[in-house]
Amino acid sequence: MAGNTFSAGGPKAAARSAGATGNATNAGEREDLANFISMISRDETAFLSSIGRSKATAILHEWQTDSLSAPAAGQVAEGVSYATQAAAQAAEPYRTRLANYCQINSKVVTVTGTKRAVDQAGVADEYAYQLKKRGVEMRRDQEFGLIHTNQSSNGSGTRTFGGYQAWANVNVKNVLGTANEYTAPTNTGGGVAGTYTTVTSGDQTALALSHVDDLMQTIYQAGGKATKLMLSPANKKAFSARCNANGSINTVRNIDDSGKLRQSVEFYTSDFGDIMIVPNYIMGLSYTSVSGLDDTADFFGLLYDPMWFNWSTLRPMQEVDLGQLGDSIIGQIVEEATLECKNPSGPGLILGLSGA
């Protein structure tokens, strides 16, 4: 009968050989395998964790916005009649109804009965471990969808919520070398993102403090405000470098009580308010989901106030037990939710960054 063949380092390989030193006693040595598993992937969801929470009650989640009439001269004559005053008064702005479709995100777990029964290092129950792992992965998927260009659509099958860039289309700072590589949406009320032609790396621009200052002014004049600037790791580093550049008057390199020199810039004071600078590692990942962009790592900067956004949940994240399939147990993690933007004039977007 043919014997098992193990690759180098395979199960009990040492027990079948004398080892590299010629010492056959290693056959009785116990393996040294630590009783823990180290997760090497980052699991932060910087944007999702920063915004509020609300409840959706339908597939199409809707909400309303209102605005004040533009400032104008308001003097009236003594004893003016109602009819005269009403005729001269500007028409009252109408309330606007906004909407976003709820998107279903899901992960499936399949674990065999044997896998649950064997004694595994670092895992008490393989099924519970995989559920937790897939749940963290799903949160990262949601973060990916929120910060990248997703347009709200009921579709003919798969619903998609409109992400940040579908709502931050009023206040846009386009720093691409060729302006026509980005086309703003015609629906500036929110819910639809801009479109891109093929962008070449030579047309992308390094982040400058003027980009942030200009966009802060645009947001302020539109009636919004921003308190966070979310950047990829490369752009976060570039921002600190710009602020700490020789001769820069925008910041002071602070030495704290312990004598530590703080090189990183975490807060920036602009003419239109203070901003917290937040890194988001997902913004530094390459992906191909934006039409016309082959590699969009470090491409965007998000300038917003978390108060303008909610994660609106129709079905909260939950485990669904799908039961047994032969000798395997199957489970599903599912959540149905959408992004609610309470003020499309509030957030801003910098696009065309190079990460340098």
| Percentage of the chain lying above the pLDDT 70 cut | 77
User: What rounded mean pLDDT belongs to the chain?
Assistant: 78
With bands split at pLDDT 50, 70 and 90, how would you rate the model's confidence at 260?
low
Cβ burial 222-231 (10 Å sphere, 16+ → b, else e): eebbbebbbb
Domains of the chain and any CATH numbers = 98-351 (3.90.1690)
Cβ burial 3-21 (10 Å sphere, 16+ → b, else e): eeeeeeeeeeebeeeeeee
User: How far, in Å, CA of 314 to CA of 306, rounded?
Assistant: 20
With bands split at pLDDT 50, 70 and 90, how would you rate the model's confidence at 341?
very high
State how far Cα 173 lies from the chain centre: 19
**117: part of which helix (H) or strand (E)?**
helix 113-117
Q: Which of 2-16, 73-87, 134-148, 281-295 has the lowest mean pLDDT?
A: 2-16
pLDDT at residue 72 is higher than 80:
no
The tokens of 177 are what?
């070398």
User: Shortest CA distance to 209 belongs to which of 269, 263, 255?
Assistant: 269
Residue given tokens 């600078």 in the structure block: 277
* For residues 224-228, average pLDDT: 89
State how far Cα 1 lies from the chain centre: 57
Residue 117, classified by CB atoms within 10 Å of its CB into exposed (0-12), middle (13-18) or buried (19+), is exposed
Contacts 24+ apart (CB under 8 A), 267-273: 268/212, 268/229, 268/239, 268/243, 270/212, 270/213, 270/216, 271/213, 271/216, 271/217, 272/216, 272/217, 272/219, 272/220, 272/225, 273/216, 273/220, 273/225, 273/226, 273/227
Please give the residue that has the higher pLDDT: either 21 or 185.
Answer: 185
pLDDT score, position 28? 58
- Which residues make beta-bridge pairs with 153? 160
